[in-house]
Structures are given as structure tokens and as C-alpha cells.
Amino acid sequence: MKPGACVHAALAALLVCASGGADQAKPPAKPKPLSIDNRLAIIRVLSSEYATTRQPLPASQKIEEALVVTPAGAIKEEKLRNDLARRGAAVHTGEIIQVTAIQFKSSSILFEINGGGKKKKKWYERIQVSGGVENAPIETGPPTRTPGPGEPAPPTRSIGSWILLDFPDYVPDLKPDEIKKMLAGVLDFNARSPAVPWIETIPEEFREAIKEKKAKVGMNREMVLAALGRPQNKVRETRDGVEREDWLYGNPPFVTFVTFVEDKVVEVKEFK
């Protein structure tokens, strides 16, 4: 080969290597933003859809109180516990809910559950007339889909909730099945048969205590809220290196102290 040809071949090889290195150095392409077609598909598939809860959903009176889920399906456990302690549960684990609205925001998707808690009357009632008074106001609720064959009746709780699927920068182009997978830690869309009532899923001793409106050692926060409601006061302190939280019910001299370590009741004291 002629010397000139060798030089040209070497330059060509260098250019190929350089272009290959540049390609390797490029960051992976970012996913496209949510398309109109997939947005409509998500609304078509998930709006009015039923699911069974895998987590209790806090009662909410405003959208800012939504349960936040990451694209990896993670939730903030401590925030959920605090929200349940402050506001109680709109829906317990194992209950059937309905997605009643979907809102798309710049970096999140908001799912309204059982009417979103905007009205304290039963969310599934289409029309309700108050008190039998002549010319009384008629309140209309959000429209609901009639359950198909084998589907459960709409849930009957009066307070709803929200679930916020939160993305770091923007909502990527996702299909409905991908959304369901992201929400799988909170909602099971595959459970089509009626779930066992929450009260039936807990030990009998706690069921009896809840019916009698009493707190017992071994209960979790959700059970205590079901038995006694929200506490008038809460006091948190560290004793012997262990963080404890006291829930106070009643007024002096009739006061009940319910003490938690993490999510379990370790002591109940009643002063009468």
C-alpha cells in the first residue's frame, strides 16, 4: 500500500473510533412526555375503575393531603402513619374503592378516590334531598358507573381520599398497565371480587375491643382510631432511649392514655 493510502486509512480509523466514543459518551435519551393518546387511554381504562386497597388511605379534605406514590411504587410510611393519626382512615386495607376522577399535572397524576372527600355525604349518591322541607336544596354528586357482572357494589364510605403519582420532572409517556404497576403497592386492580371487611381481618380480641370502644395493648394506630377516634392531644417523648407517643382521650379527671412504641400500643391507662 502506498504511504498516502496508509495515512488516509489511519485517519479514517481514528474518525471511526472518535465517533464511536462520542456515541458511547452520550447520555441515554429521556422518555418522551405523556402523549395525548396515552392520556386518553389512561382516562378510558382507569377512570371509574375498581380496585382493592393494599394500604389504608387517609381521610382527606383537600388535595394537598393526598397519599404520595413514587414511580418506583414507594410511599412515605412515616407520613402515612402521621396522616392516619391526624385524620383517620377514609378506607381501610382490603376494602374496595373506585377511581372517581383523574387529573394530569405537569409532573404528577392525581387520582380521586371515592369522590375525594369534598362532600361528607355518601359520594355515590346521585341526588339527595335534605330534611323533607319544601323547596329544599338538591345536592348532586359525581356521576358513577353502574357495576358490571361480577363487580362489587360501590364503596359506602362518606369521606374520600386522593393518591398522587409524583414524577421527578414531568409525566413520561406511559400506558395504563404501567400506571397500574406503579400504584400496585397501594391499589390492586386485579382483585375483582368483594374483599373481606377490614374488621374481619384483625384478631378477634381486637374486634371485640373496637366494638366496645376500648384500646388494648397490641393494637396499631388504625385499630385505636377505629375504637376511640382521634385523640384530643398527643405527646411524644423519649424514655430510656425509646421514642414513645401518648394519645390522650377525655377530660380530667376522666382521662385515658394510650401509649405507642412505633405502631403498636404498649400501655393503656385509664383514670376515672
d(CA 209, CA 172): 47
Residues 6 or more apart in contact with residue 229 via CB below 8 angstroms: 88
> What pLDDT is recorded for position 13?
57
Closest CA to 215 of 255, 260, 261, 268: 268
Residue 103 phi/psi, 5-degree rounding, is: -120, 135
Residue, of 244 and 4, whose pLDDT is higher? 244
Beta-carbon contacts of residue 57 (< 8 Å; ≥ 6 apart): 67, 89, 90, 91, 97, 113, 161, 163, 186
| Average pLDDT rounded to a whole number, residues 22-30 | 65
Instruction: Report, as an integer, the average pLDDT of 185-204.
Output: 75
Residue that has been written with the C-alpha cell 399535572 in this structure: 105
Domains (range + CATH), the chain: 36-138+152-197 (no CATH), 202-271 (3.30.1450.10)
143: pLDDT strictly greater than 60: no
Q: What is the pTM of this model?
A: 0.57
**DSSP code per residue over 215-262:** --TT-BHHHHHHHH-S-SEEEEEEETTEEEEEEEEEETTEEEEEEEET
The more confident residue out of 76 and 104 is 104
- Give the residue-averaged pLDDT of 77-101: 86
Q: Where are the alpha helices (DSSP H) in the chain?
A: 3-25, 36-46, 77-87, 176-182, 204-211, 221-228
What confidence score (pLDDT) does residue 23 get? 52
Determine the pLDDT at residue 263. Answer: 87
